[in-house]
Amino acid sequence: MTRENAKRIFIAGRTGSGKSTLARSMFRGAGARVIVCDPKGDWQHERGFKAIVTAPGWPLALLRTLRTHWQKGFKIALVPPPDGGSPAQDLIETCKLLFKVQKPYHERQDDRQITLVMEEMSFSYRQGVVSPEAYAPVQSMIRMGRDWGVNMIGITQSPGTVNRDYRANCAEVYLFALGISDAKSVTDVKALIKDPALKSAYDTMPNYHYIRITDHSCDMLKTKK
């Protein structure tokens, strides 16, 4: 059986720069299998998305929804309740659940991958939010998502604050313009741009433009609405 490798992807940029538009273009079409950890509730009204509120007992609701839609695909936004919730805890529980539902993939009895989108990842996977031990399921997914058929797309306005083990060795990094207040993040991401011409172009790059970096390429592109 040949299977395409599941990928880990990082998308950084200021509000309105086009991050979610780009993420959406990665799973357009029928049969998508997507779960978005959506702390700000941006995705729940997107076409084809079903929202699950992460109130007590929500992992069971998610499991049921996945079972119902397992054959045809699903687009689910996990949204915290309006009076609080914990993006970190939601991400941790989601990773735990993905290790359960993707067990057949790991055992080579099923080929279907899932895409986990972590919207506003600087809230959900940042040092000091929960103990390092509590993050173990997320760390495992970062290390082993490939073998479990879980693609990960991390999205943030503040790349410097996302835990380094996610950022390191992503298959693809997409850099949109960042907010000027986040000088440390700007320095961090510019270090990833190896092409000097693109590095200087990045400083004045308008919205909807981004630099795509892989192991062997670095290009400036534009989102398609």
Of 17-25, 59-67, 126-134, 210-218: span binding ligand ADP (CB under 6 A): 17-25
Binding mask 5-34 for Mg ion (x = CB under 5 A): ---------------x--------------
Q: Does 17 bind ligand ADP (CB under 6 A)?
A: yes
**Options 8, 19, 33, 167; binder of ligand ADP; rule CB under 6 A:** 19
CB of 157 to Mg ion, least distance (A): 9
Q: Does 122 bind Mg ion (CB under 5 A)?
A: no
**Residue 225 site contact among Mg ion, ligand ADP, none (CB < 5 to 8 Å, cut-off depends on kind):** ligand ADP
Q: Are 29 and 40 in contact (CB under 8 A)?
A: no
Q: Does 206 bind ligand ADP (CB under 6 A)?
A: no
CB of 125 to ligand ADP, least distance (A): 17
Looking at the Cβ atoms of 163 and 223, the one nearer to ligand ADP is 223
**Residue 13 site contact among Mg ion, ligand ADP, none (CB < 5 to 8 Å, cut-off depends on kind):** ligand ADP
Q: Does 20 bind ligand ADP (CB under 6 A)?
A: yes
**Options 18, 145, 154, 159; binder of ligand ADP; rule CB under 6 A:** 18
Q: Are 174 and 210 in contact (CB under 8 A)?
A: yes
Q: Does 44 bind ligand ADP (CB under 6 A)?
A: no
CA 159, 164, 166, 172 dihedral sign is: positive
Closest C-alpha among 86, 92, 97 to residue 59: 97
CB of 196 to ligand ADP, least distance (A): 26
**Options 12, 13, 80, 115; binder of ligand ADP; rule CB under 6 A:** 13
Give me the phi and psi of 38, to 5 degrees please: -125, 75
Q: For binding to ligand ADP (CB under 6 A), which residues are involved? A: 13, 15-21, 208, 222-223, 225
